Amino acid sequence: VTVCAKTLGDEQLAMVICRLVEGQGGPSERHLISKILLPAAIEKGDFWLASILEWISANYLQSFLIVLGLQRDSYASASEKSFKHAAFQNPSVGQYCLMLAAKNSLKNAVGEHNAALLCRWATVMTASAFSKCGLPLEALECLSSSTSTIGVIDKETNSANSEDLPGIMRPYPADSSRWLSYEVSCHMEHQVKVDLALKYIMKLMRELPSWSDTSAVISEASACSQEQEMSHYQSLLSSFEEKFCAALKYFEQKFCLASDLLLKKVFVSLDDDRLMLIGYRLARCPASFGHLRALSH
């Protein structure tokens, strides 16, 4: 087995031989993984392979943590700086961790409460990565999908199984200087959702035809062409208004984000030259008309 793995470099053949001789999880397989395959994967920086090898070895929690850059010897001194930078930049990392945290093997190993904590970490990582990749709507969907999990975690902050996790991943106790009340954390989460929705809306605002050089094109065209260009321009405006109103309605119905709050933040983000034109166009939107009238006073 050692010759196959080290000399021949055929790690898969070595695993097959171990399982043919002793079955899955035998002494030779455990030795092969712990002494040869896992150290080699960590040395090469292949944390995906390392995580799979830890899972095969029934080290379910370590399979989750190693993707974040946390290893057994770093639990005691783990801090924010211990996490791999890529964990909060690549959505695939968070989604993979979320898949692991949902498996019964991990839940049985660390308990339901700790599994919920790991789900929260994976959700935060995924949402952060989506946001950094310019996908605020996906980030918002990800955060909102974990709402039911948050209540369970906050009600069981003193679970005995919490000691299984690195200290940095456990909720701070009530007497800690870094502890936040449930109300404050909910407010902060709501603010994050508002910011993500605003990012999406501001990205959508770039599609507003008025921001292009359409007027210059129309002024230089012939009378016939002007009529066609104007018709096309009005069609683009109508399409934008429908999309904008649909976005406001979607955020309000699915994420409980008030349209008037989002509109106020949009107007604050615009410069004065564009504000009147956009306000006039959006005032025709049924979902925002009442809010815009209130803002104008």
State yes or no: pLDDT of 287 exceeds 90.
Answer: no
pLDDT given at position 196:
92
Distance of CA 41 to the CA centre of its chain: 26
Range with lowest mean pLDDT among 186-190, 202-206, 278-282: 278-282
pLDDT given at position 51:
93
* Backbone torsions φ then ψ of 256, nearest 5 degrees: 55, 40
pLDDT band of 129, cuts 50, 70, 90: very high
Element (H, E) at 144: helix 136-144
* CA 297/CA 139 separation, integer angstroms: 34
* CA 91/CA 98 separation, integer angstroms: 11
Mean pLDDT along residues 182-198: 83
Entry pTM = 0.73
CB 64 within 8 A of CB 118: yes
pLDDT band of 106, cuts 50, 70, 90: very high
